[in-house]
A and B are shown apart, each in its own frame.
Chain A
Amino acid sequence: MTYIDKTGIIASALSEVIMMRKLAPLFCLLAMTAQAVQLQVSDPEGNPIPQAMVTRTPLDTPTPDLSDDGYAPDGITNTAAVTVTRFTNTQGQVDIAREGKYSYRVRAQGFKDNYSNSAVGNLKLSPMNSQELIASYPSNVWLSQLAFGGDHALKEVFQLNCSFCHQQASPFMRNERTVEQWVSVIERMNTYGARLPEDDIQPVAELLQKEYRGLRENPEQVPAPRRWETHLAAIEMTEWPIGDGFSQMHDFLLHPNGFVYVGDNLFDRLYEIDPKTGEYTVYKVPHEEDARVGGILGNRFTLFPKMQNYMGVHSFAYSKKDGNIFITPSLQQALLEFDVTTKKFITHEMSAGLYPHTIRTDEQDRIWFTLALSSQVAMFDRESAEFTLYDLPARGIQEWLVLKALPALFLLDPEDRPLPSADRDSTGLPMPYGIDVAPDGGIWVARLYANDLAHIEPDTGEITMIDFPYSGPRRLRADANGNIWIVAFQNSLLVKYDPISKDFTDYELPVINELPYALNVDRDRGTVWVNGNQSDTIMSFDIATEGWKVFPMPRQRFFTRDIEISEQDGAVYTTNSHFPTWQSEGATPTLLRITPLAD
């Protein structure tokens, strides 16, 4: 039962005025505050609900031109239906209503969502019943209770292979399935790119069937997710829905020209978004006429109705010299350059190297990126237009042989290319993944499957390998002091590496069983921002105080892979990159910004 009662808020404001009469200097400020607060959110007894999330969605937006197979044609500008989210303060109040036609959704932990076309007056939320409450918990708390029969190593293998696309314990996943149905799901996922070892498929299927059922029958075992906290009242979230349920907005770039560039990884499109107006222009990445869907890796998604990833728009960095954007096309032996002035793409062909992955630029206008499959790092010198490849060492002779054989294997048609079956010791390849340029110009690389770090001295090309004493280093970033921050995916940890002392320090994440995909460092403010993908959150870590803040995302099944930070105001951007996107709430990918509210 919910209702809006304007009299309550008026009475509340009046009593405030009477109480504050003697505090004349503060009166004006309080009166202004009372005037600005438009929505009071309470429980059925009238107690205010702090940290209620209120999202404003416009109902009148121009009809977009989506005439190119459901997407905007190349060069066409559309306007996104921009949503704004704020949180109630400790008094349960929030200023969110605006003139015009909007829909408002109010969400609070433990209460049923409320939808309305108004956000003024009093709103009482109805509490969830126990079943609804537990069902509302995000994936990570459910996942935390999957013990895999005490086989911790098996759980790590499962999480490594099965949690880099979607939330594992979402309602979609934790449905009752027979063991045979789980086996079928896992085998299908292995054809899409997961590499769960064959020997583990049956045990994992049996454990998922057994342990999900156990949790369903004993829901009290599932811990409550972390409570939303008071800092949320001081921020605003803005979301730009772009693409559709088939898209995947992977990485993106906050550009000094004021635009945000987001890549649709599955449809070879670059979205140029103007955050000030909500307008976005789509640029299609060109490909060779004889290019195939899936590029040189081959199409793993033949059953999908739509897929146009000839190039695979993956990671972004811009030149500090002219602002041009460099993009790793993960499905080709090439580097893409986007001229931000002419809006044209330039393709720089490479003669070697496989799976261009994460990309960064340095102060010398050199472009550095990992080559995930061939275990290399590439450097593109813009002046000479030449690539230099740095071979990262194999972990043994067998791996060395495989790496050396890759170019020959890639001469074969993808359909005929042999794919060795995965086992726990050999998940395939070392997989250089994240990369960053430290303040001293040094290049740092994380190898996901090898669990090690590489340091490249750019002027000499000297490579130093460092064992990473944790599991799953996906992406890393350097802070202002040259410390390297790394996420340990399977360990649910944030890890700092001090290159001087050579010490690792780990920090537990503030939410349970999160599997952090990436991170970024706000060097100016000394903050590390960590991507969440199982808990519907992103997290900030203050380096000085070692304190965490958690930011709940406004949509359920919000899977983030990249973070960008505005140097000017510290605003933080991320994208909802769940795959498939239609499993995310709202079924549309979004670019999201968190902005501090003005005092």
Chain B
Amino acid sequence: MRLLAATALALYSLTGWAQGWPFYGGNSGGTHYSAAAQIDRNNVDQLEVAWIHRSGDSKLPDHLLQKTSGQSTPILLPPEAGASLVYCSALNKVMALDPGSGAQRWAHDPKINVQTERPLRCRGVSYYEEKRVTPGEHCRHRIFTITYDRRLIALDALDGKRCKDFGNKGEVGQFGNDMSTDYISNSSPPVAAAGLIIAGSAVIDFHYAKAPRGTVQAFDSLTGKLTWSFDPVAGLKNSGGANVWAPMSIDENLNLLYLPTSAASPDYYGVNRPGDNGYANSVVALDLQSGEVRWHFQHVRHDLWDYDSPAQPILFDWKKNGASIPALAQPTKQGFVFVLDRRTGESLWEITEQPVPPSQIPGEMAATTQPKPIAPPPLLDTFLTPDQAWGLTPWDRGQCAKKLKELDSLGLFTPLSEKLTLLLPGSLGGANWGGGAVLADSGILILNINTAPFTGQLIATASIPPPEAGGDHPTSGQRFQVPMKGTPYTVELGTLVSSLGIPCSAPPWGKLMAVDLVKGKILWEAALGSVHEMGPFPLPFHIEWGTPNLGGGIATAGGLFFIGATMDRQLRAFDVSNGETLWRYTLPVDAAATPMTYTYRGRQYLVINAGGHFMFNREQSDYLFAFALPEN
């Protein structure tokens, strides 16, 4: 009976499309789907603000606020854990709110070290019922959060106080917490299951050949004792990274933990890490209890493009010809969606070995082929020829055509050389950390992607003066240089734009797509975002050409897909059947976070963190908005 109950619970956590939101991705398989249907196609235009919560980050000094990026997706705790809505601020303050009013019930500030050049962020927290603690005792219901400065903290879900039985006064140091946050930090929430709390890391992997290793650690959820760890670059002594910065997924029935691993360091040069780089750029399935590798699927071999696994592996049932296969969908930056049998890692679509161009960098042995699923189709066209250059006027179109003519480009997986090379998609994707939503048991995935072209080249470091500090992705039209210490090269990256700052490819520059993972085809696509605020001055009307976007969306049984993510401060609702925009709301700042929804006391709420776009140089703030239909 207990086994049955446990199985039922596991099934519920994985596929039970409840009207709550107990996990970062909706459930432990990250489907971003809710069975809530009170808000539907017919009434979504009546949504109104139910309440607003401010984390307080907006009161930070400007120099700190400018480094923040509110990217948190709250979770809703079950009634026995207090039924609070819990989220974290960019500075890792954890807050529990009344789901109906947004009133703050408790808060915990871990007071992180903010001496960093990197953006501060916290995408969410995790909840776990620690059944080794007697019901009613403190910390039976736990909130786990990882701080930017690499501390794993356990809090009581009911009062926000630290769990004293966990580590040292409620916290344990994470791998790399003895290093600067300019080397290693954190972004995604940890995952909890089977008495373990498991965490990845955010590694600065493009500055250093030997970046910190991407070690994943599992700790006892009661005591904080390290149970196992996994180094995805074991054997690569001159490299690092391959860390897991996107959220992980868990299938407790299969006792498997799914890691979306990133590139080995450095991102754009691999002479120091010959070979395929095994577990990097992969989905790695680990035995939940032991951390042993059960299978792995590498979607980029010997990465030279920063094509990390950017999104949470989405667990769903692949139903075809009367059979139901436990499956996993992995959206990728390079614009493919891989669909795997999550028991074995075998692709459910034939994988074709796509021959790819060789590298011209001395000593660089690029992989000769890269895996490509024979279906679904690529999410974007990865070629851009001079004939396809786009511009508002013949003048800027001509500029773009000239630039494209001078670029090297052999399509996807063209390695960077000492000449300027087209990167399409660039390191922003394709898909990114927003992932996607799978509609109930339909096998239909809806996700947002970027399409704007980047360019890059490798420059001999000895030939140029030391560059100023750059960013991760050239998202705002800038170009920057990043010395890859430990290699002979500096990588220069930029967006491919005309003098008007407009991408050289035809719009849309961000889009929303519905992909049938079972039939292997694209059902529809729609521009995502308006460019009316991207110019030197805002326009009073929307121009729906799509914008670069970060953050994800969610789908509901009401036939809706909600998403912010764009550079136009909009929160939108799309019709899942055809991509039509049914509703939008103008937020004070951009919402680079994934929304969530829940039903509380009979009322469905839609909640999104609007904190601005650090990466897009957009205004920052600290809003958490809740929307609902008018009462009565």
A residues in contact (CB < 8 Å) with B:
69-70, 131, 135, 171-172, 174-178, 180-181, 184-185, 187-188, 191, 213, 216, 244-246, 302-306, 557, 580, 582-587
Contacts and interface: CB of A to CB of B under 8 A. Distances in A.
Given A131-B350, A172-B355, A304 B374 contact: no
Contacts of A584: 355
A303 B374 contact: no
6 contacts: A131-B350, A175-B373, A184-B381, A302-B405, A303-B422, A305-B360
Interface string B362-378: 00000010001111111
A135 B373 CA distance: 12
A176 B357 contact: no
Interface stretch (B42-50, B168-176, B407-415, B556-564): B407-415
B408 A178 contact: no
Most chain-B CB neighbours within 10 Å: which of A176, A244, A304, A557?
A: A176
Contacts of B357: 245-246, 305, 580, 582
B18 interface: no
Pairs of residues from A and B, 10 with the lowest C-beta to C-beta distance, nearest first: A171-B352, A176-B375, A583-B355, A305-B408, A245-B358, A303-B409, A587-B368, A176-B377, A302-B405, A184-B381
Contacts of A557: 355
B490 to A, nearest CB: 19
Contacts, number: 97
B510 to A, nearest CB: 17
B417 A305 contact: yes
Interface in B376-409: 376-378, 381, 383, 385-388, 404-409
Given A181-B377, A305-B410, A176 B521 contact: yes
B408 A304 contact: yes
A582 B356 contact: yes
A70 B409 CA distance: 18
Interface string B327-367: 00000000000000000000000101111111010000000
A176 B349 CA distance: 11
A217 to B, nearest CB: 9
B238 to A, nearest CB: 21
B195 interface: no
B360 to A, nearest CB: 6
Given A303-B385, A305-B408, A305-B414, A176 B358 contact: no
Contacts of A303: 385-386, 404-405, 407-410, 422
Interface of B: 350, 352-358, 360, 368, 372-378, 381, 383, 385-388, 404-410, 414, 417, 419, 421-422, 520-522
B378 A302 contact: no
Most chain-A CB neighbours within 10 Å: which of B358, B414, B522?
A: B358
Given A135-B352, A171-B353, A188-B383, A70 B360 contact: yes
A216 B355 contact: no
Contacts of B360: 69-70, 305-306
A177 B378 contact: yes
Given A174-B374, A184-B383, A135 B408 contact: no
Contacts of B355: 172, 557, 582-585, 587
Contact of A580 (B374, B387, B404, B410): B410
B373 to A, nearest CB: 8
A176 B383 contact: no
Contacts of B410: 303-305, 580
Nearest to A174: B374
Most chain-B CB neighbours within 10 Å: which of A69, A131, A580, A584?
A: A131
Given A175-B372, A181-B381, A244-B358, A191 B408 contact: no
B419 A305 contact: yes
Given A245-B358, A305-B357, A305-B360, A180 B381 contact: yes
A482 B388 CA distance: 51
Contacts of B372: 175
B374 to A, nearest CB: 5
A176 B376 contact: yes
Contacts of B354: 171-172, 175
A175 B356 contact: no
Contacts of A171: 352-354, 374
A215 B352 CA distance: 15
A180 B405 CA distance: 22
A177 B377 contact: yes
A303 B453 CA distance: 15
B375 A178 contact: no
A40 B248 CA distance: 47
B366 to A, nearest CB: 9
Given A135-B352, A584-B355, A178 B386 contact: no
A135 B358 contact: no
